[in-house]
Structure 1
Amino acid sequence: MAEEQTESYLYKLEAVLEEGRLLTVVVIAKSDERAFSTAENNILRHTVAPPQIKELSLVEKKPLGRQGVGFVVETSHFS
């Protein structure tokens, strides 16, 4: 049997680490469950020591099938 093809989505997630850092993670996945798993894996690869993730939240989810899909990630304020 052929596997049913499902649409991919662009996910923006935020991770709050135990030490108070906030990370924004953007991934492509076919399900919310896979997006969380992929985000956790990317955080582990990004950091030197495995961080304690206090909270991982889904912020935005957009279908990938149309042009111009993206997110704005605010990173800091300048005075």
Structure 2
Amino acid sequence: MAKKRLPLPKRFSAALTEDAYARLRALNDEYGLGNNYLLTVLLENLDTIADKDRLASAFDAFIVEYGAPGGSMDKRK
């Protein structure tokens, strides 16, 4: 039986830090999925794989250090 191919209709250009890209490559090496599929799995399952409070803290720390381009400091409300 042939494996199904997941269609990925949305495309965008993304820039990553060296550390983030290294982590993406490591996940690719471990699971054999391309960057698009890895990001799809991570983002579609974020609520089940990340602790909400720790994720919020990571975003808050990033915003404190680098700012929030294009808008409000807290869109979670």
Q: Could you state the TM-score of these two structures normalised by the residue count of structure 1?
A: 0.24
Which has the larger strand fraction?
Answer: 1
Q: From the CA coordinates, give the structure whose radius of gyration is larger.
A: 2
Which has the larger helix fraction?
Answer: 2
